[in-house]
Structure 1
Amino acid sequence: MFVFIPALAAIYAGVGVAMLGALGYESATDRQLTSDGGARERPAPAAVAPSASTPPSAADIGAFARAHASVVDLQEEYNRRIVATNDPEEIRRLRSEALSQMRTSIASNGLTVPRYNEIYVAASSDEVLRQQVVDQIATLPTEGEPNPWGTR
């Protein structure tokens, strides 16, 4: 059973999914990936507050659940691959590839990265929304089962 854990992934506008500790970040606030897969120091952002955007619809929650499950799967896959190598160039390449795959997964599930982030932040602080996401994720096929959405 999949449980929604807010610390698994975070999205930064214009950067994509930051795989945090799985990719060797000290924390989400002190490093970000560059376009070539490297990392650079960045100033700590202001506290992330829930967006004043439109609350997520049932369709948004379903899309987010599918995208989030896929992002977590990708995070786990790339974490294993990164841990298995000591080559800095390969690590940079894998980081870049992971971010690209995560962005693609989010888009293929019908969300933009900023919208995914809005829902992520909202679900992190709204217990009702978080439970809706968890319930949606629980309905997703597990590995080896047919996937009616063609994603994940």
Structure 2
Amino acid sequence: MKVNKNSWHYKALTGKFLGIEGLYELHVSNSLCIYFWQVFLMISWRGFFWLLLFPILISFLFVIPLTSLFAWINTGVFLQNAMGLEILAAWLVSGVLTGLGYSIYKVRKWWSKVEYTKSNKDPNLIMEYIKAKKHKLCPIIEFTEDK
């Protein structure tokens, strides 16, 4: 079986994805069965990591400023150390502008690489794994650098 090094699962396994480093190319298995589980566990680990990181990040960046903002609204006294409105406004504006700019960049980058031929289609990793399990034989993977 041939796996392209530009495929999403190879990049998710070896590259930096959502801020988490992947495996070195030497640690990627040549067996389809092991490769499938490496991809599955790496994606699961990254999802678990971000499910823990985002609530902590949001609590420090939004809940604390919002708490001080609501205290200011209820009491009418703006505390020196609680600059909720300024912090919240700065984070919201910078987050929206950064997200919008990054989204436009990614869409333009993706759109310029779109090819309209179906001949370059990579084999489906999940279907190949199911076929291998059915035949009780895990094929050797050959990694290619085709575009």
Q: With structure 2 as the length reference, what TM-score do the two structures score? A: 0.27
**Highest CA radius of gyration, 1 or 2?**
2
Q: Does 1 or 2 have the higher relative contact order (CA < 8 Å, sep 6+)?
A: 2
